[in-house]
Amino acid sequence: MINLKVILNEAGVDFENVVKTTAYIIDFNNIEKVNEVYKSYFKNNYPARETVQVSRLPAGANLEISMIAVKKL
């Protein structure tokens, strides 16, 4: 989430601008931990989210999250 925050800020947006996320997780038993951290970054409106359990992620990661943000005019 820290890396995603940096990327969002470089684009001139923040978590308030995120409209959709996709989380790829190795072990769905860890979803409560993921949700706890997730909630700490999204304060007001939660974006739409897909969560998908996968068998493997690059570099041995346990979780990968992609986000779509919209810059408000």
Burial of 72 from C-beta contacts in 10 A (0-12 / 13-18 / 19+): exposed
Provide the residue ranges of all domains of the chain, joining segments of one domain with +.
2-69
Which pLDDT value is given to residue 45? 84
- Give 43-68 pLDDT, tens digit per residue: 888 999 999 999 999 999 999 999 99
- Pick the closest to residue 67 from 40, 42, 49, 44 (CA basis): 49
Contacts of 18 (CB under 8 A, 6+ apart): 8, 42, 47, 67, 68, 69
- Give 15-41 pLDDT, tens digit per residue: 999 999 999 999 999 999 999 999 999
Right CATH for 2-69 from 3.40.190.10, 3.90.79.10, 3.90.550.10, 3.30.1330.40: 3.30.1330.40
Q: pLDDT band for 10, please (50, 70, 90 cuts).
A: very high
Q: Tell me the whole-structure pTM to 2 decimals.
A: 0.88
